[in-house]
Amino acid sequence: MWKPTRQEGLWFHGGNLHQSRHYSQFLALQLKARLEGLATPVYGLADVYHTA
């Protein structure tokens, strides 16, 4: 439902309102884990081929 990008603080979301409400608890847990410094690996994170 939510996927972070390599841009700090930018996430993509997919789904409808019902799915958003259902999965928001899991998103909150993942965000808290990141704030606490726990590893939260992202499946399928794309490689970066450019620099800005």
pLDDT of residue 37: 93
pLDDT average per 10 residues of sequence, the chain (52 residues): 79 83 86 90 74 68
Q: Where are the domains of the chain?
A: 2-35
pLDDT of residue 52: 64
Neighbour-count burial for 25-50, b at 16+ CB within 10 Å, e otherwise? eeeeeeeeeeeeeeeeeeeeeeeeee
Cα–Cα dist 28/44, whole Å: 21
